Chains A and B, each alone.
Chain A
C-alpha cells in the first residue's frame, strides 16, 4: 500500500465485512427458516436464531414424507437428477469438445473452415433464444422426461471447444514431432500427451460447467413433466404454490439449502480452478 491510515484500514475492513454480511444475509435467513417448524416461521417477526427442527425438516424434505399444499416430491430424488444431469452436461461437453478441438487443430481435412465456423456460431445464441424449436425437436425424438433430453441440448454449445482450441494452439510443435518420431499414432498422442497437458483447463471447465448444469432452470422446466425427473431447482419452484402463509416454508427453505450446497462447495473447494475457468471461458 502506498500510505497507511489506521482508521482508513479500519473503514475498509468495516465496509468489506458489511458487504460480506449483506451477501450472506439471505442465506442465513434461509438456514434459520429451515430449522424451525412451519408455524414458527409464519409468525411475524420470524425468529432470527436457529431452531431445533434441523434434522426433522431436512429428513422430511429429502424423503418427501410431509404433505403440504405444494408439490411434495422427495428432494433426495431431485438431487440425484440434478447431480446426474450436471455431471453429464459437464463431462459430455468436455469430451466432445476435446475431440473436435483436437480434430480442428491437428488435422487437415475438407471443409475444416466450414466446421470451424459452424461451431463458432453456436457461441452466440444461448438456449433461451431458440427454446421453443429445441423443445419441439426433443419431443419429436421422444426425449422428454429422460436424462438425454435434459442434457444433450445443453451440451450443444461451443464454449469448451474454443477454450481447448486456444489451449492446443499453444502446445509446441516439437511435442507433436517428438511423439511422431517415437512412433505414436494420432490417438495415442491425444491420449498420452494432449489430455494430460490440458488437465488444468479440464478441471477449470468442469467447475464452470457443473454449476451451469446444476443451475439450469428454463430448459428443465420445459423438458420435464414427470415429478420423477425434476431437478432440484425446479422442485423448489414447484413447492411454492401461491399464498404466503400456507407454505411449508421450513421445508422449502431446507430444500433451497440442499440445492445450494453442492455447487457452493464446488466453487469454494475448487476456487483456484473456478477463477481460472471463469477468466478463460470469457476470453
Chain B
C-alpha cells in the first residue's frame, strides 16, 4: 500500500505518456485530432529523409561535443589548481559552485544581454577589437554564444566532481613520483590523469546528457534555435515541431528517437559503473 502514491504517479505521468509516444509515432494525426491513421514506420522514414532533422542531429553533435570538451577542460584546470591551493580552497570552491543554481533559461538571458549586438558590453568590446559580432545573423556566433552559456553553467558541476576525484588520489603515489624526479607536468599526465579517467568518463556522459536535454532553456532564451534553424538541437526541434508546427506523428517519432539515445547513454553509463567497481 505504501507503493500506491509513487506507482500511481509514474503510471499516469510516465508509462501512459511513454506508451502514447510510441503509439503516436506510428500514426498520422491531423492537427485537430479528428482523424487518426495507422502509418507504420512512415513517420520514422520521413524523419530520417528530412534534411532539417539530419541537420539538427549534426547541430546537436557539434554542440554537445563542444560543451562537453570545453566544460571538462576548463573545470579540470580549475580543479587541479584548487587542489594545489593550501589556503583558501574552500573559498574558491564556494565561489565556483553557485552557477549550478542558475536556471538554464536565466543563464541564456544573461549571456544574451552581454552579447546583444547593439547594446551588449562584450559585443561592444568585440566591435572595438574589430569583430562584427551578431549572433542574430551569423550562425557561428550564435553557436558560440550558446556553447559559452552552457559551459558556464556546467563548470561548477564538473569542478566539484573533479575536485573530489583529485582528492581521492593517494598522495603517496605523487610523492613517490616526485622522488623519482618526475616534474609536475609529467606527474599530472602519467599519474593523476589516468587515475582520474573514471571520473572523466562519467562526467563526459553526464555532460552529453546535459547538452542534449537541459540546455533547452539556454537555447530558447538566447537564440530560439536561430538564425534559421542553425542552433536548433534535437530537443528544441521536438518542441518546435510538436507545439508550434503541430506535427504530432513526426514529433512523437522524434520522442522515440530521443528515448533510444537516452537509453543507450544510460546503458553505457551503467556498464561503465560496473567496470569501475572491478577497477
Give me the interface of A with B, judged by CB distance under 8 Å: 1-3, 8-9, 12-13, 15-16, 19-20, 23-24, 26-27, 29-30, 33, 41-42, 44-46, 48, 95-97, 99-100, 102-104, 107, 115, 118-119, 122-126, 128-134, 136-138, 152-153, 155-158, 161, 211, 214-215, 217-218, 221-222, 233-234, 236-237, 240, 244-245, 249, 252-253, 256, 259-260, 263-264, 266-268, 271, 274-275, 278-279, 282-283
**Given A15-B81, A122-B14, A129-B258, also A268-B20 (CB < 8 A):** no
By the criterion CB–CB under 8 Å, are B10 and A119 in contact? yes
Q: What is the CA–CA distance of A244 and B31 in the complex, to the nearest angstrom?
A: 34
Q: What is the CA–CA distance of A16 and B193 in the complex, to the nearest angstrom?
A: 20
Q: What is the CA–CA distance of A132 and B121 in the complex, to the nearest angstrom?
A: 38
Closest to A123 in B: B266
By the criterion CB–CB under 8 Å, are B96 and A20 in contact? yes
Q: What is the CA–CA distance of A134 and B86 in the complex, to the nearest angstrom?
A: 50
Closest to B107 in A: A26
**Given A12-B84, A126-B213, A217-B216, also A222-B96 (CB < 8 A):** no
By the criterion CB–CB under 8 Å, are B17 and A29 in contact? no
**Given A26-B110, A102-B2, A249-B113, also A156-B85 (CB < 8 A):** no
B interface bracket (residues with beta carbon within 8 Å of A):
35 or more
Q: What is the CA–CA distance of A240 and B224 in the complex, to the nearest angstrom?
A: 12
Contact of B121 among A1, A48, A126, A275 (CB under 8 A): A48
Q: Across the interface, which residues of A come within 8 angstroms of B104, CB to CB?
A: 215, 217
Q: What is the CA–CA distance of A233 and B221 in the complex, to the nearest angstrom?
A: 10
Closest to B1 in A: A103
Q: What is the CA–CA distance of A12 and B9 in the complex, to the nearest angstrom?
A: 50
B71 contacts the other chain (CB 8 A):
no
By the criterion CB–CB under 8 Å, are B78 and A19 in contact? yes
Q: Across the interface, which residues of B come within 8 angstroms of A278, CB to CB?
A: 157, 160-161
Q: Across the interface, which residues of B come within 8 angstroms of A19, CB to CB?
A: 74, 77-78, 81, 96
Q: Across the interface, which residues of A come within 8 angstroms of B259, CB to CB?
A: 125, 129-130
**Given A130-B21, A134-B17, also A267-B100 (CB < 8 A):** yes
Which one, B41-49, B50-58, B238-246, is touching chain A?
Answer: B238-246
By the criterion CB–CB under 8 Å, are B110 and A27 in contact? yes
Q: A56 CB to closest chain B CB, in angstroms?
A: 19
Q: B183 CB to closest chain A CB, in angstroms?
A: 9
B129 contacts the other chain (CB 8 A):
no
Q: What is the CA–CA distance of A264 and B100 in the complex, to the nearest angstrom?
A: 8
Closest to B265 in A: A124
Q: Across the interface, which residues of B come within 8 angstroms of A3, CB to CB?
A: 178, 184
**Given A132-B255, A158-B10, A236-B105, also A12-B81 (CB < 8 A):** yes
Q: Across the interface, which residues of A come within 8 angstroms of B111, CB to CB?
A: 26
By the criterion CB–CB under 8 Å, are B213 and A211 in contact? no
**What is the 8 Å Cβ interface bit string for chain B, positions 138-170, against chain A (1 contact, 0 not)?**
000000000000001001110011001000000
Q: B3 CB to closest chain A CB, in angstroms?
A: 5
**Given A2-B175, A24-B95, A44-B118, also A133-B17 (CB < 8 A):** yes
By the criterion CB–CB under 8 Å, are A237 and B119 in contact? no
Q: What is the CA–CA distance of A71 and B76 in the complex, to the nearest angstrom?
A: 41
B217 contacts the other chain (CB 8 A):
yes
Contact of A217 among B74, B116, B161, B217 (CB under 8 A): B217
A–B Cβ pairs within 8 angstroms, 10 of them = A2-B187, A100-B2, A100-B5, A115-B7, A125-B14, A129-B21, A130-B259, A137-B17, A215-B105, A278-B161
Closest to B84 in A: A12
Q: What is the CA–CA distance of A234 and B108 in the complex, to the nearest angstrom?
A: 12
By the criterion CB–CB under 8 Å, are A42 and B105 in contact? no
B208 contacts the other chain (CB 8 A):
no
By the criterion CB–CB under 8 Å, are A99 and B119 in contact? no
**What is the 8 Å Cβ interface bit string for chain B, positions 82-120, against chain A (1 contact, 0 not)?**
101110100011111111111111110111111011110
Q: A269 CB to closest chain B CB, in angstroms?
A: 10
- Contacts A12-B84, A132-B24, A218-B216 given; 9 further ones with Cβ under 8 A? A12-B85, A15-B81, A48-B121, A125-B262, A125-B263, A129-B258, A132-B251, A136-B20, A260-B103
By the criterion CB–CB under 8 Å, are B5 and A96 in contact? yes
By the criterion CB–CB under 8 Å, are B9 and A96 in contact? yes
Q: Across the interface, which residues of B come within 8 angstroms of A103, CB to CB?
A: 1-3
Q: Across the interface, which residues of B come within 8 angstroms of A222, CB to CB?
A: 243
Interchain residue pairs A-B with the least CB separation, the first 3? A133-B17, A133-B20, A215-B103
Q: What is the CA–CA distance of A13 and B161 in the complex, to the nearest angstrom?
A: 20
Q: Across the interface, which residues of B come within 8 angstroms of A119, CB to CB?
A: 6-7, 10
B196 contacts the other chain (CB 8 A):
no
B65 contacts the other chain (CB 8 A):
no
By the criterion CB–CB under 8 Å, are B243 and A137 in contact? no
Q: What is the CA–CA distance of A118 and B74 in the complex, to the nearest angstrom?
A: 39
By the criterion CB–CB under 8 Å, are B96 and A23 in contact? yes
By the criterion CB–CB under 8 Å, are B101 and A244 in contact? no
